[in-house]
């Protein structure tokens, strides 16, 4: 139990690995894990790369992959996971809901070194449909047994929508919304609760969930079933009622030595991003904040990776620790491998922009700028976040008149002129 060991003063293998990767002291990481302000999702059965998420560490990026009932191609999902990691994803979530879910999950767990997350309630409801015809035809046991199965397979973190309580659903119902719910897991649970007239098992039996998590050192990612799905619904009562509930559950998780992070919106106008982050940090006592986007306008399907990069950069600068990527196909369909790459790179850029704004990782920027100063194109391209694309763009319209410059300015290159004449000024 990582958190228990950290509380007891022990520096584990994971803590050492994270400290080394981040360039911080092991003591800093140990204290963060002990306090619950840093999580290192690392199932006792898997034990691959240790990735730290939380206060004082670099901003991390998650990529979602997974089949849908419409498109089932396990090899493609594995390829998406590999491409995501190649372009800088720090974790991968398998959100499959079509095909042989056990097989796909195990293939992804095997294929990449980064922490893997899942949303077990998906599988529980997909199996309910297969066995009994409808998503709500699942028992509380079905849900917990699926979580156990995922944990046994080595899944490092699971999204559990524990905050979708009857009270929170009642707030949603009373208050109303343009788009009621856009969280797949949250809506499955809400449907189940309403249909059966029962409390959310993940809330009612949270202690059992903690026991289960402890057994595998499974990190809980407390899902935001009430995340707003459009700007009109942002920062409303349902969203914050759920967040307050999650704040209580974070405390209970920490007491039980279970690592927990908190998921957040969603669609938010830019002016609400910082507030949402600070609110989570206050209400959840600094628990790592894992945001989806935020998507800061609803009008750009096809460009939602870019929209989420705007929101994500600001959120991460304000303190969000973990950015879930959004791909260009969000709101339109299942992403392809190319879309996964576009989503990861956009989100990586957002994360890096925030790290740099916090004064971290400036070396990368300075190195590429120094290469730019020297007109060292090979080095500039090698240092680019996507060297293949940078090379391709430059080769599309290569410089003609002046091979040192680029085809935009050619001999009128400002850098060259300024270097030449300022040197002349110096000599006088």
Under rule CB under 8 A, which residues in 72-91 are in contact with a second copy?
Answer: none
Stretch that binds a second copy, among 30-38, 137-145, 281-289, 405-413 (CB under 8 A): 405-413
Distance (Å, whole) CA 219 – CA 222: 9
**Options 73, 145, 235, 336; binder of a second copy; rule CB under 8 A:** 336
Shorter beta-carbon distance to a second copy: residue 36 or 264 = 264
* 81, 310, 324, 326: which one binds a second copy (CB under 8 A): 310
- What part of residues 124-143 is at the interface with a second copy (CB under 8 A)? 125-126, 129, 135-136
User: With CB under 8 A as the contact rule, which of the stretches 19-27, 29-37, 276-284, 342-350 interacts with a second copy?
Assistant: 342-350
Please classify residue 331 by burial: count the beta carbons closer than 10 Å to its beta carbon, then call 0-12 exposed, 13-18 middle and 19+ buried: middle
Token pair 């391209």 is found at 381
User: Any alpha helices (H) in 256-407, and if so which ranges?
Assistant: 273-283, 304-318, 337-357, 362-373, 377-383, 387-396
Shortest distance in whole angstroms from residue 321 CB to a second copy: 16
Q: Verify binding: residue 307, a second copy, rule CB under 8 A.
A: yes
Q: Does 331 bind a second copy (CB under 8 A)?
A: yes
In 3D space, the residue among 256, 258, 318, 315 whose CA is nearest the CA of residue 291 turns out to be: 315
| Position among 275, 282, 362, 378 found at the interface with a second copy (CB under 8 A) | 362
Based on CB atoms, which residue is closest to a second copy, 12 or 329? 329
Smaller CB separation from a second copy, 35 or 384: 384
47 binds a second copy (CB under 8 A): no
CB 230 within 8 A of CB 267: yes
Distance, in Å, from the CA atom of 383 to the CA atom of 361, rounded to the nearest integer, reads: 14
Please say whether the beta carbons of 351 and 316 come within 8 A.
yes
Please give, one letter per residue, the 3-state secondary structure of 151-220.
Answer: HHHCCCEEEECCCCCHHHHHHHHHHCCCCCCCCHHHHHHHHHHHHHCCCCHHHHCHHHHHHHHHHHCCEE
Q: CB-based burial of residue 236 (10 Å sphere; 0-12 exposed, 13-18 middle, 19+ buried)? A: middle
- Residue with Cβ nearer a second copy (139 or 366): 366
Please identify, using beta-carbon distances, which residue of 45 and 372 lies nearer to a second copy.
372
Size of the site for a second copy (CB under 8 A): 114
Q: Does 119 bind a second copy (CB under 8 A)?
A: no
- How far, in Å, CA of 203 to CA of 209, rounded? 9
Segment 268-287, which members bind a second copy (CB under 8 A)? 269-271
Residue with tokens 């080095």: 379
Least gap, CB of 239 to a second copy (angstroms): 14
Instruction: Give the Cβ contact number of residue 202 at 10 Å.
Output: 28
User: Which residue stretch of 32-40, 46-54, 277-285, 360-368 sits at the interface with a second copy (rule: CB under 8 A)?
Assistant: 360-368
Question: Are β-strands 322-324 and 157-160 bridged in parallel, bridged antiparallel, or unpaired?
Answer: unpaired
Interaction of residue 300 with a second copy, rule CB under 8 A:
yes
Q: How far is the CB of 53 from a second copy (least distance, A)?
A: 20
CA 414 to CA 332: how far, in whole Å?
43
Question: Which parts of 170-189 interact with a second copy (CB under 8 A)?
Answer: 172-173, 178-184, 186-188
CB of 370 to a second copy, least distance (A): 7
What residues from 55 to 74 belong to the interface with a second copy (CB under 8 A)? 68-71
Within residues 224-263, the interface with a second copy by CB under 8 A covers 229-232
Q: How far is CA 63 from the centre of its chain?
A: 6
Assess contact for 289 and 314: CB atoms under 8 A.
no
């Amino acid at each position: 139990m990582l958190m228990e060991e950290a509380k007891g003063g022990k520096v584990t293998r994971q803590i050492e690995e994270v400290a080394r990767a981040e360039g911080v002291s092991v003591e800093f990481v140990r204290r963060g894990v002990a306090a619950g302000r840093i999580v290192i999702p690392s199932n006792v059965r898997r034990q691959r790369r240790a990735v730290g998420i939380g206060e004082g560490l670099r901003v991390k990026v998650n990529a979602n992959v997974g089949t849908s009932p419409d498109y089932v191609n396990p090899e493609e999902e594995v390829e998406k996971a590999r491409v995501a990691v190649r372009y800088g994803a720090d974790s991968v979530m398998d959100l499959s809901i079509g095909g042989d879910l056990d097989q796909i999950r195990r293939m992804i767990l095997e294929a990449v070194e980064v922490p893997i997350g899942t949303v077990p309630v998906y599988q529980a409801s997909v199996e309910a449909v297969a066995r009994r015809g409808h998503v709500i035809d699942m028992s509380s046991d079905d849900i917990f047994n699926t979580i156990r199965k995922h944990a046994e397979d080595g899944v490092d973190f699971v999204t559990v929508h524990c905050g979708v309580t009857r009270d929170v659903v009642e707030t949603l119902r009373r208050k109303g919304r343009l788009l009621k719910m856009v969280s797949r897991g949250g809506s499955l649970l809400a449907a189940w609760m309403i249909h059966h007239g029962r409390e959310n098992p993940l809330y009612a039996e949270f202690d059992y969930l903690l026991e289960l998590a402890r057994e595998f050192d499974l990190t809980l990612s407390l899902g935001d079933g009430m995340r707003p799905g459009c700007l009109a619904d942002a920062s409303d009562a349902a969203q914050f009622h759920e967040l307050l509930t999650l704040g209580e559950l974070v405390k209970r998780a920490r007491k039980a030595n279970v690592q927990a992070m908190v998921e957040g919106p969603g669609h938010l106008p830019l002016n609400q991003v910082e507030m949402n982050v600070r609110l989570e940090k206050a209400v959840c006592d600094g628990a790592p904040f894992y945001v989806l986007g935020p998507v800061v306008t609803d009008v750009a399907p096809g460009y939602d990776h870019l929209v989420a990069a705007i929101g994500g950069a600001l959120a991460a600068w304000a303190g969000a620790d973990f950015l879930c990527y959004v791909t260009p196909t969000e709101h339109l369909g299942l992403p392809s491998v190319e879309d996964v790459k576009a989503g990861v790179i956009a989100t990586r850029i957002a994360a890096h922009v925030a790290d740099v704004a916090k004064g971290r990782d400036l070396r990368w920027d300075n190195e590429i700028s120094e290469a730019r100063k020297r007109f060292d194109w090979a080095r500039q391209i090698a240092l680019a976040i996507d060297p293949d694309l940078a090379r391709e763009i430059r080769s599309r319209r290569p410089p003609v008149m002046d091979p040192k410059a680029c085809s935009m300015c050619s001999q009128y290159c400002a850098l060259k002129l300024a270097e030449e004449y300022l040197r002349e000024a110096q000599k006088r």
